[in-house]
Amino acid sequence: MDTAPVEVIRASDQAITALDPVRSRLLAHLREPRSASGLARELGLPRQRVNYHLRQLEDQGLVVSAGERRWGGITERLVVATARAYVISPEAMGPAAPPEPGERPDRLSAAFLLALAAQTVRHLGSLLSRSRRTGGRVETFALQTDVTLASPAARADFARDLAAAVTGVVARYHDERTPGGRAHRLVIGAYPLPPTEEEHHD
């Protein structure tokens, strides 16, 4: 099984398993195939404890078998994580997950931006799950940039101009009449950089 660059954890049982401190360390070390004894040496843990946690990860489908190897006259079983990194979908929170963005949202609120981000993770998790079943590629594209705005007035002007530009581009390409066309979700958001990120950006 090929290790995916990133996997979205959508089930609460999987999330609980992955968030255990020992198991999250194991997942980080299992980006390449390892044996239980090798992991025990690397992490300084008893092999029996490592085996227990590996079984929990395997039961949740986060770790899979990766063959065997001979080591010092002993045959060791190898395992590997299903992905190099994991993201936990808000849907793993069940009823406590953020709701879908409202029909009349406050577009200037952080809560609305978080709702959009949560929705995006949910949608991408579903698409990635389907792509693994079908072998197809998830057709996505993304843009990211930083902009320094001099004042609240400049921010308002920037938001207005950006909205006008995006509306114009969407109007130029949107075509719901052509058979076989596929709808895409476009999400644009902006937020102040946290102080540490802002210092790094400068």
Over the stretch 136-189, which tens digit does the pLDDT of each residue have?
888 899 999 999 999 999 999 999 999 999 999 999 999 999 998 989 999 999
What is the pLDDT, as a whole number, of residue 103?
A: 66
pLDDT band at 200 (very low <50, low <70, confident <90, very high): low
> Is the Cβ–Cβ distance between 30 and 81 less than 8 Å?
yes
- What ranges do the domains of the chain cover? 7-86, 101-201
Please state, in angstroms and rounded to a whole number, the distance separating the CA atoms of residues 81 and 79. Answer: 7
Condensed to tens digits (0 to 9), the pLDDT of residues 58-103 reads 999 999 999 988 877 788 899 999 999 999 999 999 999 988 887 6
What is the pLDDT, as a whole number, of residue 117?
A: 93
What is the pLDDT, as a whole number, of residue 199?
A: 61
Q: What is the CATH number of domain 7-86?
A: 1.10.10.10
What is the pLDDT, as a whole number, of residue 87?
A: 96
> Is the Cβ–Cβ distance between 153 and 160 less than 8 Å?
no
Mean pLDDT of the chain: 90
> Is the confidence at residue 35, as pLDDT, over 70?
yes
